[in-house]
Chains A and B, each alone.
Chain A
Amino acid sequence: MSIDRPAMSNAEQNNLVSRNTRRDFFARTSDGLLGAALTQLMCGDFFGGTEALGAESDAVEAGIPPVYDLKPKRTHHPARATSVIQLFMNGGPSQMDLFDPKPVLNRLNGKPYPGNVEEIGNQGAADIGVMMGGRYTFNRHGESGMWMADVLPHTAQQADDICLINSMWTDHPNHDNALYKIHSGRLFMGYPTLGAWTVYGLGSDNRNLPAYVVLNDPLGPPKNGSRNWTAGFLPPTFQGTRFRPTGSPILNLKPQYEQPDAVTETARGLLNRLDDIHLKDRPHYGELDARIESYRLAARMQLSAGETLDLSRESSHTHQMYGVNQKWTDSFGRRCLLARRLVERGVRFVQIFLEEQPWDSHADLAQNHRGACQRTDKPVAGLLRDLKQRGLLDSTLVIWGGEFGRTPTTQKSADGYSGRDHNMQAFTSWIAGGGIRGGTSYGTTDDFGHSVVENPVSVHDFHATILNQLGLHHQKLFFSRSGLDERLTGVEPPRVVTEILS
């Protein structure tokens, strides 16, 4: 039953409400195999069983709590992509400097904003400076002639695989809220992220690794920390697992204390025997099987994660392509390469973050953005190229973007006027692979890149499109709590941006 959950229609769901097997309260969660026993038990009792359950319907309603697990689930419709790599560009990259050239803005460089500055200001109008033209030179790239700035020379070579969405917009000019929005579709904390919804809907193809992996910057966490990969109100099994960049990849994966291997073996043996004794005395308790399985998975993970993380198994050519062991790109390159290794092994959703918010250039934008590009451009392009040559790009969605864009005007900061403020009215994100039409530039902004004038794509539209490629329908993917069906894309129906699908 749990397998079908997300794929059920509303009516089917409502039918089940009366049986009350899908309440999130007292929900039990487990990873991996857990369910076999329990699910079998449930199916036997509810559908296949011939045993009388007693005359009272109460007895039938005496539902066993739902099981939430990571076993592979049926999609709602055929999927174009099976995995996602989200390259998250914390802080808000500037659209008019990188992807969306604005000659009119360039001409007005240094002039006052020709309109009411209150349209621009996020924190009041006091610190708004003058118009600032794009800081870099733009050229057309690929057969599609896609515009891209010269600070992205490597990504530009992949232009024909990329679909630029220049008409993204969001609802809040603050980092915190805009981050919640871009990750979870809501402006506030406590809601499941796109990754959590994805693994809730699809489960995992890999039994030895987490379904949803987060790769952090070794220098520190991104703004908003673990809330960028939270399961929110979904059971915790769907939250992202952070792979640590150094040392043991998963928290507590290896003992934090020293002991001989032989001891570890004896200890495991003892635990198995003890649990066996306990279990034998308590037949029919599915959660006890689940617990034993969770210890087994922990042990498997220890082996499997170690192997996955070992980048030395890759050729030097591959290292070169991602910029591993090169001055500026080593750190991000390693994470991109690791992301490919994870996706290759059936991990469903990988998020890569940068420390804090390197794109948030309120000051010295020209240099700051150049620096951020220098670290990420080559690894990103390497990832696309590598996925493509291995035939993985067709089934992997690669998403690049931040939480909002930047203003056409400068903003006052300590060093004068040399950066841009946040802009929620327009920004650029791009998607590649997974059935997305490469070489596309979608949507239009005004002459300043300040707001969207054509083909707007809301965050909900963006999410619905990604889910669509994964074989999930945004309306059918829901979770009930307190009598409310919660969805990633909220109440108002979003639009799948079909124009960018191949």
Chain B
Amino acid sequence: MCPMLPERLTILIFAAGCVLPFSDSRGDERALVFESDIQQVFVRRCGKCHSSTVQKGGLDVSTMAGLRRGGESGDPAVVPASGDDSLLWAMIDGGDMPPEGQPQLSDKERAIVRTWIAEGARSAKPTASDEKVITQHDVQPIVLLRCTTCHGARLKQGGVDLRTPAAMRQGGKHGPVIVPGDPGASLIMQRIESEACPPRELLLKYFVKRPPAAEVEVLREWIAAGAPEVDVLPDVATTESDPFVTDGERQHWAFQPPTAKLSGASIDHFILETLQKNGLGFSPSADRDTLIRRAYLDLVGLPPSLDEWQRWRGSGDSDWYRDMIDHLLASPHYGERWGRYWLDVAGFADSEGGVSSDPIRQVAWKYRDYVIRAFNNDKPYNRFLIEQIAGDELLDHEIAPVITEDMVENLTATGFLRMGIDQTGSRTMNFVPERLGVIGDAINVLGSGIMGLTIECARCHSHKYDPIPHRDYYRFKAIFQGALDEHDWLTFKNRSLSVDTAERHERVTRVNPPLRSRIKKLEVDAKNALTALRTEMLRQHYPNQTDSDRAETIRALRIADNNRTQPQRILVEKLQQVEVLPDSEQPASVLSARHAVDDIQGMITEVRRQMEPPLAIRALWDRGEPSPTYILRRGEHNKPGRLVGPGVPSVLTDGRTPFVVTPPFPNGTPKTGRRLAFAHWLTQPGHPLTARVMVNRIWYHHFGTGLVKTLENFGAKGERPSHPELLDWLAVTFVERGFSIKELHRVIMNSRTYRQASRITDKTRKRDPGNRLLSRMSLRRMDAEVLRDSLLSISGQLDDTPGGPPDPVSVNRDGLVRADATATGRWRRSIYLQYRRTEIPSMMDTFDYPEMGPNCLSRSVSTVSPQALMLMNDQHVRDLAVAFAARVESILKTSGGDSLGGQVDLVYQLALSRPPSEVERQLGIETLQELHRTWQGKPHAAFATYCHIVLNSAAFLYVD
């Protein structure tokens, strides 16, 4: 409705349409009044959630003041005489409130409310003084958004700091910035209105936009009113009970601490109880070969070597299985397998994403190695979380005389919250909304991955299903404000620390400079060789082209394609047309020029390998001076609401306990300590979610389904646990045993439940179709890493060097992305490949390596034909099959058993960790005979074909 109409007129227009039908029932034509006609309706219909004691969405409809103030949207609930603008009416009229399942307003009540608003929402009490007064808290968010980049913590242009009213009054070189009561005389208004500030040439440099008229108006009104200040304390949890979240809402199972009697209970006890209730029992134990393969692929992600397989299957020790689990948990390959799951939780990537150049994250791998180490060392999960969330607040490295390994480790761990997409280092994508996106991703990772809560849903409004008020999202955001401050931002380019031990410092400064200058020289050579190659291509394919056209082509390549003239584009295209020709159509001179380029590239790679990794750490650290945190109404960066302080979701507390934050280094580097306080709160033994979410995740990876299926959501819309008591027992046991993840593996893997066979019987199919009761082990397809690592291992092509910078990938002309071999000519485990978001290795991608957005808690499992095409037709897979065949042949040569039957036996032992069945053996021998015929006397090729097919078989790809 048009805001310029005089109020009286609007009343008339609105009232004319709707008051009349009700005038009869009232008879006396008395106007409706809140206290006598409305209040009771609201108390009866809305009071359960919107009273002075319970204020869902920040709304209290029991008083006129509450209605005028409105809820978290920042808009009043009732606008006199305007039903259209009254949020309360919109919610009632649209059927959104009261919520489904609650008693609704009767038609008569609706009519009364509507009429009351139309008549001007009258109240018996005078409304004189609740006109909104503009204070410094209306001004501060505007100034933060538009001014403090140049006049704040880092820069004080003209000596001006605009962060507080006092500093504004004080001003800078040119005197006070504001003159209370006189906007016209205030420097700030003059500068803004003349568009001298923010300066045009700096808008993009500092990623600031001009304040729109409405914001300028707020500034003016505030100054005109004398720049009034009120002391508003940030909204934080207090000892008063929280009206936003009720105790009833805290009763949801996942918000209560887990409880369990430890004695006498076991996994099998809980599982069997439910099975029996459904007329089922455990399936028989899987046979020994199956258990060996299952345990190896599950714990280390690689099949057993021939020796190890023979050792376990031949062992007469009754504890062989237990010993095998311990052996595997002690393997350094364990961390490479289970660390990978954690990298999915963190949303690990070797590039920033967001922009098409997808810049590489040079040292993301340090965090990857930290995770692998943590798993291998069985770092207690509570410690693991504290380091990742607040490692920078544990030890004060900034004033330390000596940098210790622990300091480096702690800082590396904080890479956890730096894994989301970050485009803020780009030329145009570093405005406040994009920064808020980076912060949002970090919160999302924590919420979904660690807390099992969809906190991010409360970014724009209170959570629809869970008792997470809008306010709590921003309290939560305030925890990170010291490190991730959208008003004092570090882009990915400068958010990095060069902290390392003295010894590493020395090594880097000694080793790298000479290598770097060699690379520089080689790069010049490479560039020249490339020019020579291109010129030669043009010369060979376009003999009639002039030399100057060739030179112009080379020159045009240096210009971005969208800045080329049309003649330049045509020249470049001519080159492209011959560049994509296959080698068979290239003359010898071109091929040799191409080799020259490849040789130099090879040398560069070789020298790079000799370099010491850089000192940089992709860390997150508190910078000690957080901006104030305002609620952002509807999640929009320029719609600030109330001021809030740091805090955790109220529903996970008793609602009467303040969140206590203490700076960690009172005599050292200033840091807020907010994240450290959060990490300690998160890892306290009775926390309702931390342990449950983690044991559920471990369970999920062992069984293929979580006890709570929705790993990321333990809230109202998440699924209830299939075995609630078991979940709690595991959570309590986990905490009790020092948050040891390896111990948890032992508990799970030594259970009878885990050791069941995977066969489905008619009975278990009927009574337990989805295996939620765990009447058997679930058959599962290898994930991308296990598949690729197994292929490499079986074919003897695995380079098991751990850690360090990721192995680069190459993209061929078909768009196929493949890892480069290491200096040994072999390939490393998949976790050590480079995961650039736009260049995910094709095999990983084809077998469901996920898009990290921002992370991935459970990968989907697809069964699509590109997988068949990859395993059947891809050259690399074929090469591995050939290597596998050669390996088998060479083992058999030394052992002297190279009959066809011997070949088949060994293929099964290596690839499937079992002997072939009689049928499989016979089939193998017959097929090999046929292949010898069809390959026409090429026995190696025939055997390679056989090996290739076994690697394509379901028996290989699926794990019982």
Contact mask A148-182 → B, CB, 8 Å, 1/0?
Answer: 00000000000000000000000001111100000
Give the complex CA separation of A30 and B862 in angstroms.
6
Give the complex CA separation of A225 and B814 in angstroms.
12
The answer to whether B767 and A176 touch across the interface, beta carbons within 8 angstroms, is: no
Given contacts A221-B815, A251-B816, A260-B934, contact A267 B838 (CB under 8 A): no
Which of A129-137, A281-289, A335-343, A380-388 lines the interface with chain B?
A281-289
The answer to whether A282 and B759 touch across the interface, beta carbons within 8 angstroms, is: yes
The answer to whether A123 and B204 touch across the interface, beta carbons within 8 angstroms, is: yes
Report B907-960 residues with CB < 8 Å from chain A CB: 917, 919-920, 923, 927, 930-931, 934-936, 941-942, 945-946, 948-950, 952-955, 957-958
Decide if A357 is an interface residue (CB 8 Å cutoff): yes
With a cutoff of 8 Å between Cβ atoms, the chain A residues found around residue B936 in the complex are 260
A23 CB → nearest B CB, Å? 6
Taking a contact as CB atoms closer than 8 A, the residue among A25, A54, A62, A257 that contacts B771 in the complex is A62
Contact mask B758-785 → A, CB, 8 Å, 1/0?
Answer: 1110000111111111000001010000
With a cutoff of 8 Å between Cβ atoms, the chain A residues found around residue B870 in the complex are 251-252
With a cutoff of 8 Å between Cβ atoms, the chain A residues found around residue B765 in the complex are 284
Kindly state the interface size class of chain A when it binds its partner.
35 or more
The answer to whether A53 and B767 touch across the interface, beta carbons within 8 angstroms, is: yes
Contact mask B254-290 → A, CB, 8 Å, 1/0?
Answer: 0000000000000000000010011100000000000
The answer to whether A291 and B863 touch across the interface, beta carbons within 8 angstroms, is: yes
Taking a contact as CB atoms closer than 8 A, the residue among B576, B712, B866 that contacts A219 in the complex is B576
Report B859-877 residues with CB < 8 Å from chain A CB: 860-870, 872-875
B13 CB → nearest A CB, Å? 27
The answer to whether B200 and A124 touch across the interface, beta carbons within 8 angstroms, is: yes
Which of A95-103, A106-114, A295-303, A438-446 lines the interface with chain B?
A295-303
B844 CB → nearest A CB, Å? 12
With a cutoff of 8 Å between Cβ atoms, the chain A residues found around residue B759 in the complex are 281-283
Which of A269-277, A344-352, A425-433, A467-475 lines the interface with chain B?
A269-277
With a cutoff of 8 Å between Cβ atoms, the chain A residues found around residue B564 in the complex are 363-364, 368
Report A365-380 residues with CB < 8 Å from chain B CB: 367-368, 370-371
Give the complex CA separation of A219 and B570 in angstroms.
12
Given contacts A30-B863, A54-B278, contact A364 B767 (CB under 8 A): no
With a cutoff of 8 Å between Cβ atoms, the chain A residues found around residue B149 in the complex are none
Decide if A205 is an interface residue (CB 8 Å cutoff): no
The answer to whether B865 and A298 touch across the interface, beta carbons within 8 angstroms, is: yes
The answer to whether B945 and A267 touch across the interface, beta carbons within 8 angstroms, is: yes
Decide if A361 is an interface residue (CB 8 Å cutoff): yes
- Closest A residue, CB atoms, query B920: A277
The answer to whether A266 and B773 touch across the interface, beta carbons within 8 angstroms, is: no
The answer to whether B779 and A282 touch across the interface, beta carbons within 8 angstroms, is: yes
Decide if B544 is an interface residue (CB 8 Å cutoff): no
Report A388-424 residues with CB < 8 Å from chain B CB: 413-415, 419
Decide if B645 is an interface residue (CB 8 Å cutoff): no
Given contacts A25-B709, A236-B864, A483-B454, contact A363 B722 (CB under 8 A): no
The answer to whether A282 and B760 touch across the interface, beta carbons within 8 angstroms, is: yes
With a cutoff of 8 Å between Cβ atoms, the chain B residues found around residue A283 in the complex are 759-760
With a cutoff of 8 Å between Cβ atoms, the chain B residues found around residue A58 in the complex are 274, 722, 772-773
With a cutoff of 8 Å between Cβ atoms, the chain B residues found around residue A241 in the complex are 866
With a cutoff of 8 Å between Cβ atoms, the chain B residues found around residue A288 in the complex are 779, 954, 958
Report A225-266 residues with CB < 8 Å from chain B CB: 225-227, 230, 232-233, 235-237, 241-242, 244, 246-247, 250-257, 259-260, 262-263, 265-266
The answer to whether A274 and B923 touch across the interface, beta carbons within 8 angstroms, is: yes
Taking a contact as CB atoms closer than 8 A, the residue among B428, B767, B941 that contacts A123 in the complex is B428
Give the complex CA separation of A457 and B694 in angstroms.
47
Decide if B465 is an interface residue (CB 8 Å cutoff): yes
Q: Which of B200, B711, B862 has the most CB of A within 10 A?
A: B862
Taking a contact as CB atoms closer than 8 A, the residue among B569, B857, B867 that contacts A368 in the complex is B569
The answer to whether B711 and A223 touch across the interface, beta carbons within 8 angstroms, is: no
Taking a contact as CB atoms closer than 8 A, the residue among B279, B580, B767, B864 that contacts A29 in the complex is B864
Decide if B184 is an interface residue (CB 8 Å cutoff): no
Contact mask B332-347 → A, CB, 8 Å, 1/0?
Answer: 0000000000000000
Q: Which of B278, B279, B704 has the most CB of A within 10 A?
A: B278
Decide if B565 is an interface residue (CB 8 Å cutoff): yes
- Closest B residue, CB atoms, query A226: B815
Give the complex CA separation of A99 and B646 in angstroms.
54
Which of B211-219, B533-541, B555-563, B681-689 lines the interface with chain A?
B555-563
Decide if B842 is an interface residue (CB 8 Å cutoff): yes
The answer to whether B354 and A176 touch across the interface, beta carbons within 8 angstroms, is: yes
B749 CB → nearest A CB, Å? 21
Decide if B301 is an interface residue (CB 8 Å cutoff): no
Decide if A435 is an interface residue (CB 8 Å cutoff): no
The answer to whether A277 and B873 touch across the interface, beta carbons within 8 angstroms, is: no
The answer to whether A285 and B760 touch across the interface, beta carbons within 8 angstroms, is: yes
Taking a contact as CB atoms closer than 8 A, the residue among A29, A277, A482 that contacts B448 in the complex is A482
B538 CB → nearest A CB, Å? 16
Given contacts A176-B354, A274-B923, A363-B563, contact A257 B851 (CB under 8 A): no
Interface size on B, residues (CB 8 A): 113
With a cutoff of 8 Å between Cβ atoms, the chain B residues found around residue A254 in the complex are 873
Give the complex CA separation of A27 and B709 in angstroms.
11
The answer to whether B814 and A251 touch across the interface, beta carbons within 8 angstroms, is: yes
With a cutoff of 8 Å between Cβ atoms, the chain B residues found around residue A259 in the complex are 935, 941, 945
Given contacts A28-B861, A263-B931, contact A371 B566 (CB under 8 A): yes
Decide if B356 is an interface residue (CB 8 Å cutoff): yes
Decide if A461 is an interface residue (CB 8 Å cutoff): no
Decide if A455 is an interface residue (CB 8 Å cutoff): no
Give the complex CA separation of A214 and B876 in angstroms.
25
With a cutoff of 8 Å between Cβ atoms, the chain A residues found around residue B861 in the complex are 26-29, 287
Given contacts A26-B704, A233-B853, A357-B561, contact A483 B769 (CB under 8 A): no
The answer to whether B569 and A371 touch across the interface, beta carbons within 8 angstroms, is: yes
Taking a contact as CB atoms closer than 8 A, the residue among B457, B465, B562, B950 that contacts A361 in the complex is B562
With a cutoff of 8 Å between Cβ atoms, the chain A residues found around residue B869 in the complex are 250-253, 298, 301
Decide if A64 is an interface residue (CB 8 Å cutoff): yes
Taking a contact as CB atoms closer than 8 A, the residue among A252, A356, A414 that contacts B874 in the complex is A252
The answer to whether B934 and A266 touch across the interface, beta carbons within 8 angstroms, is: yes
Taking a contact as CB atoms closer than 8 A, the residue among B772, B815, B842, B948 that contacts A267 in the complex is B948
Taking a contact as CB atoms closer than 8 A, the residue among B355, B437, B719 that contacts A20 in the complex is B719
The answer to whether B868 and A294 touch across the interface, beta carbons within 8 angstroms, is: yes
Taking a contact as CB atoms closer than 8 A, the residue among A174, A233, A282 that contacts B758 in the complex is A282
Given contacts A188-B354, A371-B569, contact A483 B760 (CB under 8 A): no
Give the complex CA separation of A125 and B566 in angstroms.
26
Contact mask B873-910 → A, CB, 8 Å, 1/0?
Answer: 11100100000000000000000000000000000000
The answer to whether B356 and A176 touch across the interface, beta carbons within 8 angstroms, is: yes
Taking a contact as CB atoms closer than 8 A, the residue among B356, B570, B713, B878 that contacts A257 in the complex is B878
With a cutoff of 8 Å between Cβ atoms, the chain A residues found around residue B860 in the complex are 24-29, 235-236
Give the complex CA separation of A97 and B919 in angstroms.
73
Decide if A17 is an interface residue (CB 8 Å cutoff): yes
A424 CB → nearest B CB, Å? 12
Decide if A126 is an interface residue (CB 8 Å cutoff): yes
Taking a contact as CB atoms closer than 8 A, the residue among B279, B355, B770 that contacts A63 in the complex is B770
Show 24 residue pairs from A and B whose CB-CB distance is below 8 angstroms, ordered by the A residue: A29-B864, A61-B719, A61-B720, A62-B773, A91-B562, A118-B210, A124-B201, A188-B437, A225-B815, A250-B869, A256-B873, A256-B875, A262-B934, A263-B931, A263-B945, A270-B949, A281-B759, A282-B758, A282-B779, A298-B869, A363-B564, A371-B566, A482-B448, A483-B457
The chain B residues found within 8 Å of chain A, CB to CB, are 200-201, 203-204, 210, 274, 277-279, 353-356, 421, 427-429, 437, 448, 454, 457, 465, 559, 561-567, 569-570, 573, 576-577, 580, 704-705, 709-713, 715, 717-720, 722, 758-760, 765-773, 779, 781, 814-816, 837-838, 842, 848, 851, 853, 857-858, 860-870, 872-875, 878, 917, 919-920, 923, 927, 930-931, 934-936, 941-942, 945-946, 948-950, 952-955, 957-958
Complex A-B, nearest 9 residue pairs according to Cβ-Cβ distance, in ascending order: A62-B772, A367-B566, A29-B862, A190-B853, A360-B562, A256-B875, A62-B770, A25-B858, A298-B868
